[in-house]
Structure 1
Amino acid sequence: MEHKNYKINEVAKMHNMSKKALIYYDKIGIFKPKYVDEKNNYRYYDIKEFPVLKQIIYLKEIGFSLEEIKNLLEHRDHDVIINALTHRNNEIFKEIQRYQDMHNSIDYLLKFYKTAKYFDKRDLYKPSIKIFEQRKIFYLKCEEEGNREEVMLTYRRVLKRLRELDLFSHQEYGTIYLQEGIESGFKHNVGAFISTPENFHIKEETILPEGKYICMYKTGGYYDEESVKYLLKWISENGYEVISDIYEYCLIDYTFTKSVEEMVSELQIRVK
């Protein structure tokens, strides 16, 4: 039984595509009409080939190039298509992970900026207790004697190291005062850090254990030894013992102000 032959405009309409696309598919040999009328140059298609067109549309929709699709159609083999789909599926999974990371970064930034929005001077220099779950940071120690500029430069080294690993974190960052500096002074025991997401796996990263932290908002920029000493004194006077490095998480930086005196950060020290 002879099937009806369908004109190009009919095929385009029923597949929700343009005649221009079908003409191009014919030109590159990926989907050709059954025959072309020599008198009027009309293209006519056999309904039995429609499943092939559906496959082209689907493969294009999930990210295959026309060249890749043509190759698959020329080698109609189960193993070839299985391997191709497996490879594409893995690529899509990586894309999903990338967009999930972007979503998490945006979600973090929204929370971060909302915290900064509602902060005011009444919140300064008032130590309080916070309970944190386990977190991760990546830090580098200052190469030169610690000061505000050196900490800022060290933070750039931190970002550079992440980029070398093809990583980037939008999460909290700040100054780290190493525990050994509590007695000997922080000039040579200070650095910069950035928080890292769970899916980052960096050999040099540091785990911040869950537990009780004494926290305090303060002003004064990236390196402020006086505020650190003030909080350490409060901790000692109230019977706590320091059991961690000291982390100064930046809250309001040069993004929001040009004045160091108006910059705000939160000191966090794990205690028992």
Structure 2
Amino acid sequence: MLSIGEFSKICGVSAKTLRYYDEIGLIKPDEVNEENGYRYYSIKQLKKMLLINRLKTYNFSLEDINIFLEWEEEQLEEKLCFALHHKKREMKDKINALEHTLKQISNDLLHLEKGIPIMSYMDNIDIQLVETQPMNVLSIRQMIDYAQGYGTYFNRLYALIATEKLTLLGKQMTIYHSPEYNPAGHDTEFAIPIEETVKGTRVLPRSLCAKSILKGSYSELTSVYARLWEWIENEQYELVNSPFEIYITNPNQATAPEELITEVYFPVKKK
């Protein structure tokens, strides 16, 4: 048996942390001396503790790890395989986002060193006045948290399209109905153009729109929106309906943010 100090030293975990893990049921000592309360761990518990450490480095929460450890060994391997694949995708997304940010910093530094204002890139965001055609869309509308991904909702729509054997006519799109920013979430409609008229479809009417195209990370959409608002004001137009985005590039198929192409539409009319 190993004392809590010995176990702590071998595993690189403080005794205080081990006591906390005991409290939450993550890993309990094999024996506790009833007279003095000293905790003792078995050699076989070393592997379990090292697994906990490993999963923590992968940014799994203690709650998640606790759930993993409740599974039988065969089930644990299967569940961990799935969880690690998901975590790997998450980390790749974060790496891509960081690489994009580093590239953006480098470009900003290059401009600043040449005496070019840091926000001058907004002057290069092109705006066009276009007329959209009526679109019959299958859609889901609900309040969603800003941290939630859109994939779940589009997958539900694609599953319904496949089940009902509906005919796709265009790219996936989102329509933003919230009148203002709300930290609790936003009123969003997820839509896919289809040919048939079924339950859950509606027609987006023909509309005059201020349109811009973003080639790159979704994090740049705020700049596109700001430029569109600026253009609308300067050209004496006003917004008459909810803005919407059309995703020309499927985000699930893009390997880098630079491959993403998003069309942004603001339905407008002349003041």
Q: What is the TM-score when the length of structure 1 is the normalising length? A: 0.47
Larger Rg: 1
The TM-score normalised by the length of structure 2 is 0.47
